[in-house]
Structure 1
Amino acid sequence: MSRTTFRNTVLGIGATAAAISVGYFGVQQLGRNNMFTIAAVVGGAGAISYVLQKPSQPEAPTAPIKTQRKGKKS
């Protein structure tokens, strides 16, 4: 597992725990319907962040790489 994947996994678990805590304590103060709203917002934010994550790709070289052709020697 790469370092970026590990970091994203840890941050995702932390964000999920925070969202559950906010929803749990928020529903005690605000009511059941607000809990559903909070859950929908957190779920939507999670889906958006999942879609926006792109796999890391190596950067293309700035200058073209010249290759030598194998063939007849003159």
Structure 2
Amino acid sequence: MKPNKTLGLTVAALGFLALGYFGVQHFGKNNMFTTAAAVGGAGAISYVLQKPSQPEAPAAPIKTQRRRNKS
């Protein structure tokens, strides 16, 4: 992994932990569990319902025979 990516992921993880800690202090444990479950459920639903990023492979082409012109 690139150093900038590692640093970014570390900062994001620490930010989310701090947000969760202070959120529990302000809103209470049950409200934070409810919020986490709602966000997790929305993420799971969007993952299941998303369209595939690549189109399906087309069916094998049908070979046609050319007719010869009898001159």
Q: TM-score, normalised by structure 1?
A: 0.47
- Tell me: higher relative CO, structure 1 or 2? Use CA pairs within 8 A at least 6 residues apart: 1
Choose 1 or 2 for highest CA Rg. Answer: 2
